[in-house]
Structure 1
Amino acid sequence: MSWTDMALNGRILVVDDAMENIQILYGALQDEQEVLFALDGRRAIELARSQHPDLILLDAVMPGMDGYAVCAALRASSETRDIPVMFVTALKSPEDETRALEAGAADFITKPINAAVVRARVRTQLTVKRQADALRALSLTDPLTGVANRRAFDERLVTEWRRCARAGLPVSLVLADIDHFKMYNDHYGHPAGDACLVQVAAALRRGAGRTHDLVARYGGEEFAILLPQLDAHGAEGVARRLQDELAQLDLPHAASPTAPRLTMSMGIASQVPREGQAPDALVVSADARLYQAKDAGRNCYRGEAPQG
């Protein structure tokens, strides 16, 4: 990605209680960026959580929840803390700018704005944000398989749990373990085992399907498939697709006592989270059902209505 690519086509959230100020910023940015707007602080926080803007342009002085309170709330939430905030305000004193920066702002622009200056500084913030996002993505990716790593799963589980709790929607989890993988490594060698993990991870990605589903390497030969906004019935449908994708790989496993080809066992759990409730129980439940699948002879899944 070039510097120009990084600086353009961002999603910008403009927050100001005066529509004329929003229109001025929209006019300055619309040719290069997608522009959303909010007229108050609480609506701004809602949009930041639901629309995931790349940058927020925030007025400092607003009735009710002012810009400083909005910035502090954004910084306090794991869902929004990485979104850079640029204050655009009529306040001009060094003390006001210092207060904004101490609240977590990345930049401070005074009104009346100069359109060219705003565009340039927005481009700079988008470039920095996308470079940081790229580095963060590397830190959250399993280097062998290219899917998310355990850290990414843990972070995403908390985020989706809270989001679904607010909306009253279910979260489902599939824990999948390659059957007799140690025997596979012993029989075919570790390079073949690594190649196997790469192919299995790709198959799981295809089986999960939706863009907001997460496939993560949970540890060793175990994978976690996080399915936000999907109930137990839907999660079992995903488990069947995962089995089909693995069967299509048709990887030989001559050392397996379960089948002559590579197979997986899976445990499925689903829950509608409640505000303030930790997601640990979902993982514990999926893990328990994974062991049920193994006790049932492997190469199957177990969920709320055991079958496989």
Structure 2
Amino acid sequence: MSRSDYPPQYDDSHGPPYAPQGGNYPAPPAYGFPAFGGPQPGQPAAPYPTNSNTPLFPSQPGYPPGMYPGPPHPAAGTPGAIYPSQPPMPPIIPRTMPSDVINSGDDFAASGSDWDNLRIRHVFIRKVYLILALQLTVTTAIVAVFTFVEEVKTFVQRNQAIYWASYAVYFITHIVLACCKGPRRKHPWNLILLAIFTLALSYMTGSISSYYDTSAVFLALAITVVVCIAVTVFCFQTKVDFTKCRGLFCVLGIVVFVTGIITVIVLSFKYIYWLHMLYAAIGAIAFTLFLAYDTQLLIGNRKYSISPEEYVFAALNLYVDMIQIFLFLLQIIGSSK
């Protein structure tokens, strides 16, 4: 009989097609797919995807996308570069609303006949929302650049020192504007400090957004716009006075601040998904309530209100509330992508 040109058929009952290798050699890849460590012998190395729709960090069990180091991106330059383990947390700072000032009838609280004049009130509200619109425009533009431009995204993720420097600028300018009456009311220093504060927080917001998919950023932005418009319309129409609950809002601010510190400390050692999501949910709800409170302080027809001279402080509070709502929603939406 002549030998067949075909190889003998494999029978599962005879065991594996090859004997286990001795020593510490790794097992062959299952189903013919190459192992994660690199290409098989004789096969060219596949380039790492660089399109904007591919996340920089592949998923692994137990972690949401983009929350830990992955293979180096070609744009990173040095082979073997490792990205930060997770996106920076949103800025944590206690809300600053001195109770002795707001109770005194001076500075923050409405006094005299200014608030009886509808023209002065309307001019004040328009001025605040004009400043707020400029702040949000700058922040949106920076977030768009950090999200769409791959070179900027890579640079931001590899240079977190700039993020922490902007955090320091944000913290200092926030404290100065919130606690110092002179710089807050003296023109043009109040606008200069507010501009520096806006640029610092915008850079931080863009840095955090660069770690998430474009679709997650757009969805978080859309939900934030809807929430802010709904809260603003509700506060202008409702008879419920949130300014009467200053003690409750003070406790809520302390809870968010302490929870944020605990979350940052815990996540720096071990990532816990449910803790991260719990903190993000608490933050989103809390700053939505803060937005309602600050909006009613702006309106002026409640128990407590802000003086027309404090347009910088009013714009500062509304801006921080909206940015924080966006960042907390981004964490929730981005982790589920």
TM-score class, shorter: under 0.3
**Under a length normalisation based on structure 2, what TM-score does the superposition of the two structures give?**
0.24
**Greater helix share, 1 or 2?**
2
Bigger-Rg structure (1/2): 2
- Structure showing greater relative contact order (alpha-carbon pairs closer than 8 Å, 6 or more residues apart): 2
**Under a length normalisation based on structure 1, what TM-score does the superposition of the two structures give?**
0.26
